[in-house]
Structure 1
Amino acid sequence: MTRNLLPVLALLTGTLFLFLGNGLQGLLLPVRGSLEGYSNEVLGLLGTTWASGFVIGCFVAPNVVRRIGHVRAFSGFLALICLNVLLTGLLVDDVAWLILRAITGFCTAGTSMIIESWLNERATPGSRGTIFSFYISITLFGVVGGQLMVPFADVTAPTLFMICGILYSIAALPTTLSKAASPQPLKRAKLDLKGLFRNSPISFVGILLIGIANGAYGTLGAVFATRSGLDKGSVAAMVSITIFAGAIMQLPAGRLSDSLDRRHVLAALSGVAALAGLAVAIIQPAGVYHIVILVAIYGAAANALYPIAVAHANDFASPEDFVKVSGGLLLLYGIGTIIGPSIGGPVMSWAGPHALFFVTALAHLLVTAYAIVRSRQRAPVPKSERDAYTTAPGSTSSLATPESLSLDPRAQKADIPGE
Structure 2
Amino acid sequence: MGQVISGTWALMLGMMLLMVGNGVQGSLLGIRGEIEGFSTVEMSFVMSAYFLGFLGGSRVAPEMIRRVGHVRVFAALGSFISAALIVFPWLADPWVWMFCRAVIGFCFCGVYVTAESWLNNAATNEDRGKVLSFYMYAQVTGIIIAQGLLVAADPSGFVLFVIPSILVSLSFAPILLSISPTPAFESTKGMKLRELFNVSPLGITGMFVLGGVFSAQFGMSAVYGTQAGLSIVEISIFIAMFYVGSVVTQYPIGWFSDRMDRRIVILTVSVLATLGAAIGFLWTGSFYALLVAAFIVGGATNPLYSLFIAHTNDFLSREDMAAASAGLLFVNGLGAVLGPLTIGWLMTSLGTSAYFLYLGALTAIISLYALYRMTKRAALPSDETGSFAPVLPTSSSVAMEAAQEYAQYSIEEEAETQNAS
What is the TM-score of this pair, normalised by structure 1?
0.92
Aligned to 1:291: 290
What amino acid sits opposite 1:217 in the alignment?
A: Q
What amino acid sits opposite 1:32 in the alignment?
A: R
CA shift at 1:77, angstroms?
0.3
Unaligned runs of 5+ in 2: 411-421
CA shift at 1:58, angstroms?
1.1
CA shift at 1:349, angstroms?
0.7
How many Å separate the matches in 2 of 1:178 and 1:364?
41
CA shift at 1:13, angstroms?
2.2
Aligned to 1:391: 390
Which is worse superposed, 222-231 or 302-311? 302-311
How many Å separate the matches in 2 of 1:190 and 1:366?
27
Q: Secondary structure at the match of 1:291?
A: helix
Aligned to 1:231: 231
The 1:308–1:4 alpha-carbon spacing in structure 2 relative to 1, beyond 3 Å, is closer
Aligned to 1:332: 331
Match of 2:406 among 410, 413, 417: 410
Is the contact between residue 330 and residue 400 of structure 1 (CA under 8 Å) also seen in structure 2? no
How many Å separate the matches in 2 of 1:340 and 1:114?
27
Aligned to 1:216: 216
How many Å separate the matches in 1 of 2:359 and 2:326?
24
Aligned to 1:350: 349
- Show CA shifts across 1:12-53 (max 9, x none): 222121111111111111111122221111211222111111
The 1:246–1:180 alpha-carbon spacing in structure 2 relative to 1, beyond 3 Å, is closer
CA shift at 1:183, angstroms?
1.7
**Does residue 400 of structure 1 match 2:404?**
no
Aligned to 1:417: none
CA shift at 1:177, angstroms?
4.0
Is the contact between residue 53 and residue 106 of structure 1 (CA under 8 Å) also seen in structure 2? yes
How many Å separate the matches in 1 of 2:407 and 2:81?
30
Is the contact between residue 25 and residue 85 of structure 2 (CA under 8 Å) also seen in structure 1? yes
What amino acid sits opposite 1:400 in the alignment?
A: S
Q: Secondary structure at the match of 1:230?
A: coil
Which is worse superposed, 151-160 or 29-38? 29-38
Is the contact between residue 313 and residue 407 of structure 2 (CA under 8 Å) also seen in structure 1? no
- Show CA shifts across 1:344-364 (max 9, x none): 101101111110112111111
How many Å separate the matches in 1 of 2:83 and 2:24?
15
Aligned to 1:192: 192
Is the contact between residue 55 and residue 106 of structure 1 (CA under 8 Å) also seen in structure 2? yes
The 1:254–1:411 alpha-carbon spacing in structure 2 relative to 1, beyond 3 Å, is closer
The 1:64–1:247 alpha-carbon spacing in structure 2 relative to 1, beyond 3 Å, is same
Unaligned runs of 5+ in 1: 415-419
RMSD of aligned C-alpha atoms? 2.0
Residues 4-403 of structure 1 correspond to what in structure 2 (within 5 A)? 4-178=4-178, 180-188=180-188, 190-281=190-281, 283-394=282-393, 399-403=394-398
The 1:135–1:377 alpha-carbon spacing in structure 2 relative to 1, beyond 3 Å, is same
The 1:7–1:95 alpha-carbon spacing in structure 2 relative to 1, beyond 3 Å, is same
How many Å separate the matches in 1 of 2:374 and 2:85?
46
Identity of aligned residues (%): 31
- Show CA shifts across 1:258-300 (max 9, x none): 333222222222122122213322x243221121112212222
Is the contact between residue 49 and residue 98 of structure 1 (CA under 8 Å) also seen in structure 2? yes
Q: Secondary structure at the match of 2:285?
A: coil
How many Å separate the matches in 2 of 1:256 and 1:20?
31
CA shift at 1:250, angstroms?
1.4
How many Å separate the matches in 2 of 1:181 and 1:388?
29
What amino acid sits opposite 2:220 in the alignment?
A: L
- Show CA shifts across 1:71-92 (max 9, x none): 1211110110000001112111
- Show CA shifts across 1:125-159 (max 9, x none): 44433322221111111111112210121110100
The 1:165–1:186 alpha-carbon spacing in structure 2 relative to 1, beyond 3 Å, is farther
How many Å separate the matches in 1 of 2:375 and 2:151?
49
How many Å separate the matches in 2 of 1:349 and 1:165?
32
How many Å separate the matches in 1 of 2:121 and 2:260?
36
How many matched pairs?
A: 409
How many Å separate the matches in 2 of 1:225 and 1:110?
30
Q: Secondary structure at the match of 1:298?
A: helix
Q: Secondary structure at the match of 2:220?
A: helix
How many Å separate the matches in 2 of 1:243 and 1:303?
8
